[in-house]
Chains A and B, each alone.
Chain A
Amino acid sequence: KVQEDLNKQLLDNLVSFLSRAHSEFQEKTTEWTCRMKFREIPTAALVLGVNVTDHDLTFRSLSDFLQNNITPYIALLEAKDCPGIKNLMQKLMGQLMNCYVDVDSLEDEDYVYVSQNRIRCSMSSLIKWYESVTKKTDSETPSKKRTSSSTHWQSPPVVVIFKDMESFTTKVLQDFIVISSQHIHELPLVLIFGIATSPMIIHRLLPHSVSSLLCIELFQSLSCKDHLSTIIDKLLLTTQFPFKLGGKVLQVLINIFLYHDFSVQNFIKGFQLCIVEHFYSQPLSVLCCQLVDLQKRINSLSHDQCENIRRLPSFRRYVEEQESGKQIALLTTDNFLKEETQKLLEDLHVYHENYVSVLRCLHVFTSSLPKYPLGKQIRELHCACLENQVWETEEYESSLQLARMLNKSDLVTMLQQCVEILLSSSGKEFDKTVERLKKFLTQFQSLEAEAFQEQDVSVSSQKELQKKTDLYHLQKTLLELKESRRSKKLTKFEMLRFEVVDFIDSLVRKYLVPADHRTLHEILYFNTAAVLRGHLNAAPRTALHTALNNPHWYLKNQALKCDGGSISNKAPDICIVYKLHLECGRLINLVDWLEAFSTVVMAGEEPKADMASSDQMDDIIHARFIRAVSELELLGFIKPSKQKTDHVARLTWGGC
């Protein structure tokens, strides 16, 4: 379907964005590694931060990059593959020889395949292999090789990457380093450690005698927060993608990122999920597309879909604002509705264009204010603007007040930045704004001349101050100065500053209207944060707890309705058994438990008079009890205990 196509396209874009973000800093690091090799430094420590899950991608692109530009011999090692030095060597050899196959595949396949399994994995065999390989590349027709691997050096180094250095056993690492250091002359080895915590870990893992064999260069990758900013920048704050995130949803995603895992990948995953959910659950998401396709899609809308549009709350609001003739037309004629929708959606696109650039301008202003009342990052500002009308918040008030106290040079640079942003944006309405801003700038320039004169005055007054040195006079003059300043009318600079701030304020009020005030925002915005949270950040324990304590939540039966913590005796067996076990301490006597259970259940059942069936009833209750108890055991609330006969131990502490 159309929707899925769009999905795929977006997902692809996402992935490419992520890898681009990664490769930026990789280029930097690889340059360093090159230089490092000239100086013959064998180790690079790559501090990557705690978002372990993202590292995989980084390493993959790093090794690709190295492979393309520096050396064909690269081995990626992970701790879980290498419990001992033997496994490590095996893995290393395997990967290196495979690399070899990749580079010049056809010529000597047999040699490699024989060697791969048979060769005893030792350093000497590795060296032999390396020598043979390099010799071959030297001796054999160089012309063919050179073309393919011109960037490789005469004797390319062997790069070994330890993906997660912290989880390697120290013994293995030490052994490997000691062994390889003895062969460093024959085998140009380069190590790369991936480190999640801090560079100190190297010294903690390796004793001095070993770490002295390494010459370590440290590389710091960008923090995951920066990655997030780039991604938000490129995904959310562009007009390229029609799909948008609502305020709460974005908040949820950012919270998961900041408070749970710092994983950019997970953020992307959440974003993907949003897209899927949106296109799955919102029937009108067909219209969530590029402007180019919009016309076609709107024309192909069916009558039902038009009805769907009419049912949107934001559209209703819009209709109510129109005069009656238009109202009727909108509600009855499909074609007119389509035209109107087209217009409204185009409006929405224009709104986005303007929104983004004005948001950036505002960010320029607020990000340099002391204490950051509206947040340091643009994402915080974005959230605030999405949530509600930003100019009504206290933070906005205070930041405007702070902005009125900015000094001139800051103000001028900010204005220049704003002009640049607005010029680079594709919005058409900004011509006037830019002109206005430029005018402000020239006014500031003209002020400078006057400012010089004022400075002279102040300098002279200061000179006066210097003459009179005794305390009394100093105080007096200071007081006078203060008085005069208070009473003095605003300087021209201050007037201008007010004007600038007011202008910015007017821009904000005009363009940063929260999205859910716009008509038809439902088509482009995904806003059900609860669903997202349920799928990404689920709470299985809470669900169990609710089901056991309050079965009525799930089973809508009047008999189960109860208030507070109590539970009716008609509840499902497992709920009753659970409730009873909460009253016990560490150990539970099964007999007592059974008895209590049957008391409850008997009371719940209608009293049956005939005694003949009571024995059978007893058995059934017994069986039900057994089932409920073994279910609790499966859920992990109890386990059999050998401390006392016929007792079970309780595994949880808690509950009310």
Chain B
Amino acid sequence: MSRIEGSGGGRRRVLQLKFVPDEEVLKHIADDTGIKVRKDKPQPSINLKRFVKKLENISDDEAQEILEEKNYVATLGICAQDPMGNGTSVSGGEVYSFQTPKRSSKMAELASELAHTPEQSVASDHSKGPEKTAKTPQSSTMFLLLMRVFSLLLQSKKKEFVSTTPYRLRKRLAAPDSYLESESEYSASCSEEEDEEDQQEVSTVLSGQKTPAKTKAASTPPPRNSLAKKNKEKMSNLVEEYFEAHSSSKVLTSDRTLQKLQKRRLSQETLHDLLKKAPLAYAAEIKELNQQHESLFSKWMLQLHLGFNIVLYGLGSKRDLLEKFRMSLLQDSVHLVVNGYFPSITVRSILNSITEEVLDHIGTFRSPLDQLEFITKRFKEDSSLELYVLIHNLDSQMLRGERSQQILAQLSSLPCVYLIASIDHINAPLMWDQAKLSLYNWLWYETTTFSPYVEETSYENSLLVQQSGSLALSSLTHVLRSLTPNARGIFRLLAQYQLEKKDNPSYPGLSFQDFYQQCREAFLVNSDLTLRAQLTEFRDHKLIRTKRGADGVEYLLIPVDNNTLTSFLENQDEDV
């Protein structure tokens, strides 16, 4: 008991920690919740704070405070209920609270469930299901689970199985021969836990069904004093679960990899092409949304001129929207578009383009701060100077740093610089502290567009997209072209050898001695020293990498993937 009190009360001021017998606390809870109006959100920390206050004998002042707090929550509530206050009736706790760690099979389950749900009747059946099954004995839950797995099997059209279904169940279900393969996909570490997991499976299904019931109970006005207790229980549970999920280094996911999926990785272009073929869902609705946003353009303009800056948030790419804004209203004025998502953008480049393009200043600055000072001075001197700055993705990797945000904020606070920016990351508002916020002087606009982030994600090194390697290839050919024919031959030899060994995943590279031998045989070098000199040159151009093996032998490796290497060799052949 005392532990929880301490953690709950520490927020506002230093509190006494007392050891209190449980009965007493319960008593307090009982009359405490009796007196006070409960908030509709389950917020354990505030509850706890109140208990502690009660223990300390609330003075009038504190009562006042609580009153105010209630007031605040009440007004929040009012606004949430406002017809205009759109989807925001989602309480904060619901949005990102703790969560019970779920086994990965839940995903497959949900998938099958979703696949089933187009008919409304099934959906309602499912939503009713939990409450029933939570009470029914375990065997029937097992049955339900089996049913789900069956349906899943029937559903998935490929021969492969969703690997995360419990091992034993699969064994029972499986037609023996077709599964040998998929079973082999399981690593030893996974199968050790099968037993345990099998049990957990049932229990997670149970608990997973309990939790919605619990949250439902929390949202409806419940019997009062029991809820407080439940909340507390729930919180400590959640905390434990959180740490449980994060403490174990073992991850309970299947070991399958994309390589075994027999699917080539898509390159950027093919990805583009494929996506072009896929029709954009709900185009009409999205267009309607966009038109709504576009009707705000003139308002934005007015507000920009009145000294506010505008930030757009919400799901979907806001690039097109901003582009449209630019095209329609900013044609005749000086404006600067910053593509924040571009991976090599820096504040310095933004400032440079302002000083060089807008202010026509030639010369360099020692630091961004100096540059900013210069810009400030120029803008103050010449009041007719106006500049619109559009920043796509103000929260991108490169711009989210403290210093760059500070500089941008200062820039935006200039009276003749109008900033309109978009943010996407869920934690983007954390970039700004009070001082920056007041410099930015934001007006927030929700512009959910649902349009795909085509440009924004194209620079990301997604795991799934194959790196095209075209850059590496061109650099290879360029460097090689400047070398002597002998040197080219040496490199070619190494490349060919590496390609021959491409099926060996543990290929360490070609040892120096072997390489020397081969080079001699091809009449490419005449001494150990010339080869070494050649290799040093390669290394300087980052064409090869050397590393020492366990036995002290030097191994040589070309750090380029095989496809690039093949095409490089083909190119070479063509040249010759």
Contacts and interface: CB of A to CB of B under 8 A. Distances in A.
Contact of A622 (B78, B266, B406): B266
Given A273-B443, A540-B314, A620-B274, A647 B95 contact: no
Interface string A543-583: 11111101101111100101111111110111010011111
A53 B253 contact: no
A490 to B, nearest CB: 31
B463 A541 contact: no
A529 B79 contact: yes
Nearest to B406: A80
A548 B95 CA distance: 11
Contacts of B94: 656
B79 A583 contact: no
Contacts of A565: 212
Given A576-B114, A584-B104, A592-B104, A555 B452 contact: no
A542 B99 contact: no
A557 B282 contact: yes
Contacts of B282: 555, 557, 560, 572
Contacts of A35: none
Nearest to A528: B84
B555 interface: no
Which of A541, A580, A625, A633 has the most chain B CB atoms closer than 10 A to its own CB?
A: A541
Contact of A596 (B110, B127, B256): B110
Interface in A160-198: none
Contacts of A528: 84
Contact of B75 (A255, A542, A630): A255
Interface in B335-359: 341
Contact of B72 (A259, A590, A595, A603): A259
B434 interface: yes
Interface stretch (B134-142, B325-333, B424-432): B424-432
Contacts of B215: 656
Contacts of A589: 104, 253-254, 256
B126 interface: yes
Nearest to B252: A585
Contacts of B101: 585-586
Interface residues of B, number: 122
Interface string B429-471: 1000011011001011110101011001100111111000000
Nearest to A567: B114
Contact of A634 (B253, B271, B453): B453
A567 B111 CA distance: 11
B470 to A, nearest CB: 19
B270 to A, nearest CB: 8
A488 B108 CA distance: 84
Interface stretch (A261-269, A415-423, A443-451): A261-269
Interface residues of A, number: 116
A294 B443 CA distance: 32
Nearest to A266: B438
A17 B454 CA distance: 49
A603 B457 contact: no
B96 A592 contact: no
A81 interface: yes
B261 interface: yes
A535 B445 contact: yes
A358 to B, nearest CB: 24
Given A572-B282, A626-B266, A602 B115 contact: yes
B98 A653 contact: yes
B253 A587 contact: yes
B199 interface: no
B254 A646 contact: no
A656 B92 CA distance: 12
Contacts of A653: 96-99, 242
A263 B115 contact: no
A631 interface: yes
A377 B48 CA distance: 30
A624 B99 contact: no
A280 interface: yes
Nearest to B439: A53
A630 B261 CA distance: 20
Nearest to A547: B315
A630 B457 contact: yes
Which of B79, B246, B255, B427 has the most chain A CB atoms closer than 10 A to its own CB?
A: B79
Contact of A280 (B111, B302, B429): B302
A556 B292 CA distance: 13
B174 interface: no
Given A53-B434, A273-B443, A569 B115 contact: yes
A540 B313 contact: yes
Contacts of B288: 556
A593 B111 CA distance: 9
Interface string B208-223: 0000100100000000
B27 interface: no
A534 B452 contact: no
Interface in A613-656: 619-620, 622-627, 629-631, 633-637, 640, 643-648, 652-656
A633 B446 contact: no
B285 A555 contact: yes
A262 B221 CA distance: 34
A569 B115 CA distance: 6
A538 B444 contact: yes
Contact of A551 (B112, B156, B245, B450): B450
A540 B423 contact: yes
A625 B457 CA distance: 13
B251 interface: yes
Contact of B425 (A538, A568, A579, A636): A636
A527 to B, nearest CB: 11
Interface stretch (B12-20, B31-39, B158-166, B501-509): B158-166
B75 A251 contact: yes
A248 interface: yes
Given A553-B86, A585-B245, A646-B463, A543 B448 contact: yes
Contact of A584 (B68, B102, B445): B102
Given A626-B462, A630-B460, A633-B462, A542 B299 contact: no
B552 interface: no
A592 B457 contact: no
B362 interface: no
A599 interface: yes
Contacts of B425: 634-636
B533 interface: no
A572 B85 contact: no
A570 B75 CA distance: 37
Contact of B112 (A269, A593, A599): A599
Given A599-B112, A602-B115, A554 B106 contact: no
Interface in A408-451: none
B157 A602 contact: yes
Closest 5 CB pairs of A and B: A538-B444, A603-B115, A546-B87, A596-B111, A654-B96
21 contacts: A81-B369, A252-B79, A263-B434, A276-B302, A534-B84, A536-B443, A554-B285, A562-B123, A568-B118, A572-B282, A584-B102, A584-B253, A592-B108, A604-B115, A623-B270, A623-B278, A626-B464, A627-B275, A633-B457, A634-B460, A653-B97
Interface of A: 7, 11, 52-53, 80-81, 248, 251-252, 255, 258-259, 261, 263, 265-266, 269, 272-273, 276, 280, 371-372, 528-531, 533-548, 550-551, 553-557, 560, 562-570, 572-574, 576, 579-597, 599-600, 602-604, 619-620, 622-627, 629-631, 633-637, 640, 643-648, 652-656
Given A372-B64, A557-B282, 14 more contacts: A248-B78, A255-B75, A544-B315, A554-B285, A570-B281, A592-B107, A592-B108, A595-B160, A623-B278, A626-B271, A627-B275, A634-B453, A646-B463, A656-B215
